[in-house]
C-alpha cells in the first residue's frame, strides 16, 4: 500500500481506485490478471484447470500524479505462482498475443 509518494514524498495519496479498460462499456469489467493451473501429466479425461484472477487498484499521489497499481489479492497470486500456475491467453486460436 502506498502511503507516501516515492516521487515527491507527499502523503496526499488517493487509494482504492478501480482500473477500467476503454472497451468495457457494459458492466465495467476492469483489466485483470489470471493465473491458470498447468495440465497434470495424468489429467482425467474431463479436466478443467483451476485459476485465480485479480483486478487492480490504483493509488494516485494528489500532489504530483504519480500512480501505482496494486492488488489486494497478492497472497492468492503468490500461492498460485508457487503451484506453477501461469498467465495464459484464453484461446490461442482467436486471441492475438
Binding site for Zn ion (CB under 5 A): 5, 7-8, 10, 61, 63-64, 66
- Minimum gap (Å) between residue 70 Cβ and Zn ion: 16
- Minimum gap (Å) between residue 64 Cβ and Zn ion: 3
- Minimum gap (Å) between residue 23 Cβ and Zn ion: 30
Residue 15 or 38: the one with the smaller Cβ distance to Zn ion is 15
Cell of 92: 490461442
Residue 57 or 68: the one with the smaller Cβ distance to Zn ion is 68
Residue 2 or 53: the one with the smaller Cβ distance to Zn ion is 2
Cell 516515492 sits at which residue?
6
Q: What are phi and psi of 68, to 5 degrees?
A: -125, 135
Sign of the CA dihedral with 18 first, then 24, 29, and 32 last? negative
- What whole-number distance in Å separates Cα of residue 94 and Cα of residue 97? 10
Amino acid at each position: 500500500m502506498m502511503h507516501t509518494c516515492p516521487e515527491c514524498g507527499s502523503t496526499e495519496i488517493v487509494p482504492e481506485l478501480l482500473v477500467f479498460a476503454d472497451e468495457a462499456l457494459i458492466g465495467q469489467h476492469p483489466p485483470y490478471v489470471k493465473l491458470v493451473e498447468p495440465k497434470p501429466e495424468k489429467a482425467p479425461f474431463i479436466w478443467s484447470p483451476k485459476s485465480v484472477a485479480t483486478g487492480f487498484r490504483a493509488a494516485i499521489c494528489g500532489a504530483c500524479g504519480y500512480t501505482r497499481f496494486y492488488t489486494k489479492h497478492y497472497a492468492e497470486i503468490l500461492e498460485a505462482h508457487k503451484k506453477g500456475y501461469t498467465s495464459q491467453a484464453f484461446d490461442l486460436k482467436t486471441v492475438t498475443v
